[in-house]
Each structure stands twice: as C-alpha cells, then as structure tokens.
C-alpha cells in the first residue's frame, strides 16, 4: 500500500506521516508527480494561506485532479480540504481545485480569528471516514476561513455559525477535514485509520 503525502512546499507533513505510522500505514512524503501517479491513496495537508498553497500545488494540480477522477482515495487536511472547493476569498477570490462546490469566506462576528481550539462534530451523513466516530466528538481546528454547509457536508461544527468540518465528494473517494486529525487524539487517529480502510 502506497500513501502519498503530497509535498508542495506547505503543510504539516511530518505530523501527518507520524499519524499514519501510528495506525500502521506508513506514508511517503513526495512532491514527485510520478510517485503521486503510482500511489494507492493521496493526502493533501495544508498550513498557510489558500492562494499561496494553490500556487505551490500548481505543477502537481493536473496529476492530483486526474487521480481524484480515477477514484483514488484522497484526504485533504485543513487548507488541503479548503483547496477542494471552487475557491476562497483569501488572496482575492482565488480559485481552488473545484472538486466540491462552494467558496470559503473569512470568519465574521466571532470573538477571535483564527478559530483555534477544540470543537465538536455534528454528523450530517454517513461516510467511511466517520466509521465508529460518535456524534459530538471533539477535534482540533486552526483556521481563519470557513466552508459553507452544503449537500457535500459530512459533518459540521459551530463557531459564530455552522460551517463544514468534513466535506466529501459525490463519488465518495474524496474527503476533507477542516480540522487536523493528526492533532486530534484518539478520534483523529481513528479517522486516519478509517481513511486507510478506504484504500
């Protein structure tokens, strides 16, 4: 089993690698298109600004979108989840990968931005990533922009209003978490194990 952790110059690569190793599925950090093309599953971490992350991903965008279209299991984490959307207001209406509909907007009317800390999940629909995850489970967030709740929302959370915490495409092979599963204790590790089970 080959899980490619995509290295495009941004992201918490090592913590994701350690999280996968903890659940018995070593990942390979790579920015090589051929290795991404040969992988059984892809993980796109992300830390930083949406526009900078999209620019960094640029040379690999084609292979990533093709592998997604082929049905390869894919997990986006934090900004890696945000990049699945059509775009974000961050960086001036920057376009995303367009795998799921919708656009990210900055938090408004909240006590503090970025939103940082533990929030509970409100499960909206079944998805393999949520197998064995109780409704109301707490996970760890760090972000300044949020995705709207939509038909693609598998789980939501609330900070100054509801937003998407887990998104999934219609085909079911793509999921994204706004939170960091690799930093969310036993619940997050169970999600990583569930992702491995999707492969």
Segment 16-32, tens digit of pLDDT: 999 999 999 989 999 99
| Tokens encoding 68 | 């997604």
Per the CB < 8 A criterion, the answer to whether 104 and 85 are in contact is yes
pLDDT in tens, the chain (199 residues): 999 999 998 778 999 999 999 999 989 999 999 999 999 999 999 888 999 999 999 999 999 999 999 999 999 999 999 999 999 999 888 999 999 999 999 999 999 999 999 999 999 999 999 999 999 999 999 999 999 999 999 999 999 999 999 999 999 999 999 999 999 999 999 999 999 999 9
Prior bond to 114 cis, omega within 30? yes
Question: According to the model, what pLDDT value does residue 45 have?
Answer: 95
CATH number at residue 183: 3.40.50.880
Q: Can 86 be counted among the known catalytic residues?
A: no
Q: Which two tokens stand for residue 187?
A: 């619940």
**pLDDT reported for residue 47:** 87
Query: Domain range spanning residue 74?
Result: 3-197
Helix (H, G, I), strand (E, B) or coil at 164: strand
Q: Which residue is listed with tokens 């984490």?
A: 77
- Give pLDDT, residue 91: 81
CA distances for 17 relative to 4, 61, 197, angstroms: 10, 21, 16
pTM (predicted TM-score): 0.96
Whether 94 sits among the annotated catalytic residues: the reply is no
Question: Which of 78, 94, 115, 143 is labelled catalytic?
Answer: 78
37 is written with which tokens? 């093309």
Residue 78 is among the residues annotated as catalytic for this protein = yes
Task: With beta carbons less than 8 A apart as the criterion, state whether 60 and 74 touch.
Answer: no
Q: How many domains does the chain have?
A: 1
């Amino acid at each position: 089993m080959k899980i490619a952790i995509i290295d495009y110059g941004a992201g918490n690569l090592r913590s994701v690698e350690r999280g996968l190793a903890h659940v018995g599925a070593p990942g390979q950090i790579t920015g090589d298109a051929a290795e991404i093309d040969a992988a059984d599953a892809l993980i796109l971490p992300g830390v930083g600004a949406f526009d900078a992350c999209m620019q960094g991903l640029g040379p690999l965008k084609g292979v990533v979108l093709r592998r997604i279209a082929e049905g390869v299991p894919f997990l986006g984490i934090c900004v890696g989840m945000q990049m699945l959307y059509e775009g974000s207001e961050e960086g001036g209406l920057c376009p995303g990968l367009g795998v799921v509909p919708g656009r990210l907007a900055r938090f408004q009317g909240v006590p503090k931005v970025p939103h940082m800390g533990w929030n509970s999940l409100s499960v909206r629909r079944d998805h393999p990533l949520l197998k064995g995850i109780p409704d109301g489970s707490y996970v760890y967030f760090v972000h300044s922009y949020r995705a709207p709740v939509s038909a693609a929302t598998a789980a939501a959370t609330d900070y100054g209003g509801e937003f998407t915490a887990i998104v999934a495409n219609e085909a079911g092979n793509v999921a994204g978490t706004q939170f960091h599963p690799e930093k969310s204790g036993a619940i997050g590790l169970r999600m990583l194990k569930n992702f491995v089970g999707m492969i």
